[in-house]
Amino acid sequence: MAKPIVAFVGRPNVGKSTLFNRLAGKRISIVQDTPGVTRDRVYAQADWLKYEFTMIDTGGIEPKSDDVILKQMKRQAQIAIETADVIVFIVDGKEGLTAADSEVAQMLRRSKKPIVLVVNKVDSKKDEENLYEFYNLGIGEPMTISASQGLGLGDMLDEVVKHFDGLYDGEEEDEYIRIAMIGKPNVGKSSLINKLLGEERVIVSNIPGTTRDAVDSYLETDLGKFILVDTAGLRRKSKVKEEIERYSVIRTYAAVERADVCILMVDAEEGVTDQDEKIIGYAHEMNKAIMVIVNKWDLIEKDDKTMVNYQKDMQAKLSFLSYAPYLFISALTGQRVHKVLEVAKMCYDNYNKRVSTGILNDVINRAVLMKEPPIVGLKRMKIYYATQVATKPPKFIFFVNDATAIHFSYARYLENQLRESFDFKGTGLEIEYRERKE
């Protein structure tokens, strides 16, 4: 189930990053008094009451003049409107209402997305004097908070999560397997999608409202129903202006967040770049289903060992993705393109796989007999039993005597046993160790 996405929008120095970090529970965005320092990490997971959601800090404004601020705020608002389910619009309670606030509010209003208006830096009664002018923005009741002191955050989050109910009730989207194509510009993502669509001779509709995060195409084949998401390509930092780069990064992260299967596309001549590693690393952290496609394979001089050696080199670079299948194709000539959806569907089926508790415990008991847990400190971990509690991704809970007594190498051993016994090729797994008394 996709998590709702909440975007934070606002002028420089209104406290977006302070709020973001407080809610994320760790310092992710850099907080300084220099406007526009929120550069790199734009995403964090948060939860409130029974809801889990993803926060985006849209950041990225360099104030040189009012014109520039306004232009970049509009860009920010645009990202939020495209990618978010709920928008948190943050204004400065000490400074009061500005022209830039009013213009952005107008854009947000037109989006028809739920907006929570938050007046930050209200640290005392005196600061509340500016509150009433924010009613002029016409986006509902302003809520006062102090992000630095942690005041008013509970009420604000109550308001945010109110908008989550009913967001993902649509069964129509649920029937579809959502595939995000990830990779640098010009690796052939669009060509591959066009090839897949063209050869299937299906009616492809770009349904309005479906391009929240990137360009979506709907496709039905004998294998099932798919949504193919062509994400904006990720360039190296030096090549692109920061804010445009950030724009495509946010769209790509949002596409990963909502995808079932993430396909990393790599140019055969260029190989894997650091940027590829970073974004597919995010998909791996989210335990998505993942496959790797090497495109433009027709351009490589080959002998009978080329493919094996190439894959070995890539697996060494992407060592955390040992479970991902590789496919070598040419979107231009159509070589092996027919296998793309086949492999993606296999990854999805494993991502959605459920294992019965009885068989699961047989496998774990056998694994422990073959190799018992090492002593960590003065304790040896004892596993009482295991159970699968979720799919997409498959999530397992191991009930143990002492969760601190698990050695990382033994945790990896148990994961490998699960993968070999139940064929979880192509999907991340989540395993949690929970203490319980005998």
pLDDT tens across 151-176, in order?
999 999 999 999 998 775 544 556 89
213 and 321, same domain (yes or no): yes
Q: Alpha helix locations (H) across 120-241?
A: 153-162, 171-174, 189-200
- Stated pTM of the model: 0.72
Task: Record the tokens describing residue 132, joined without a space.
Answer: 């009433």
Mean pLDDT value across the chain: 84
Q: Which residue has the higher pLDDT, 175 or 142?
A: 142
Task: Record the tokens describing residue 307, joined without a space.
Answer: 């493919």
DSSP state of 265: E
277 and 364, same domain (yes or no): no
Q: Roughly what angle, to the nearest 10 degrees, separates helices 99-111 and 66-83?
A: 20
* Listed residues 311, 326, 351: the one ending a domain: 351
Query: Among residues of the chain, what percentage have pLDDT more than 90?
Result: 50
Q: Which residues contact 399 (CB under 8 A, 6 or more apart)?
A: 383, 384, 385, 386, 387, 434, 435, 436
- Asked if the model's pLDDT at residue 205 lies above 90, the reply is no
Q: d(Cα 280, Cα 296) in Å, to the nearest integer?
A: 20
Residues 124 and 95: beta-carbon distance below 8 Å: no
> What single letter denotes the amino acid at residue 231?
T
Name the residue range of residue 412's domain.
357-435
13 and 147, same domain (yes or no): yes
Structure confidence by residue, pLDDT tens digits, 219-260: 889 999 999 988 866 666 555 455 555 666 777 888 888 899
330 and 194, same domain (yes or no): yes
Please report the pLDDT score of residue 81 as a whole number: 79
Half-sphere exposure of 129 (CA within 13 A, CB side): 4
129 and 249, same domain (yes or no): no
372 and 306, same domain (yes or no): no
Q: Which residues contact 19 (CB under 8 A, 6 or more apart)?
A: 8, 90, 118, 120, 145, 147, 153
278 and 184, same domain (yes or no): yes
Instruction: Report the CATH number that the domain containing residue 423 is assigned in CATH.
Output: 3.30.300.20
DSSP state of 405: G
φ/ψ of 427, rounded to 5, equals: -135, 145
* Listed residues 110, 129, 162: the one ending a domain: 162
Please report the pLDDT score of residue 86 as a whole number: 94
Residues 215 and 227: beta-carbon distance below 8 Å: no
332 and 376, same domain (yes or no): no
81 and 211, same domain (yes or no): no
Burial class of residue 309 in the structure, from the number of CB atoms within 10 Å of its CB (0-12 exposed, 13-18 middle, 19+ buried): exposed
142 and 209, same domain (yes or no): no
Please report the pLDDT score of residue 189 as a whole number: 87
CA angle (85 as vertex; 345, 166 as ends), nearest 5: 80
Name the domain count of the chain: 3
Structure confidence by residue, pLDDT tens digits, 95-132: 999 988 998 898 889 888 999 999 999 988 888 888 89
* Listed residues 299, 327, 351: the one ending a domain: 351
Neighbouring-strand partners of residue 217: 228
Please report the pLDDT score of residue 65 as a whole number: 58
228 and 275, same domain (yes or no): yes
**Max intra-chain CA distance, the chain:** 77
Structure confidence by residue, pLDDT tens digits, 354-394: 999 999 999 999 999 999 999 998 899 999 999 999 999 99
Instruction: Report the CATH number that the domain containing residue 83 is assigned in CATH.
Output: 3.40.50.300
Residues 191 and 331: beta-carbon distance below 8 Å: yes
Task: Record the tokens describing residue 348, joined without a space.
Answer: 């999805």
200 and 344, same domain (yes or no): yes
- Asked if the model's pLDDT at residue 208 lies above 70, the reply is no
pLDDT average, residue stretch 60-69: 58
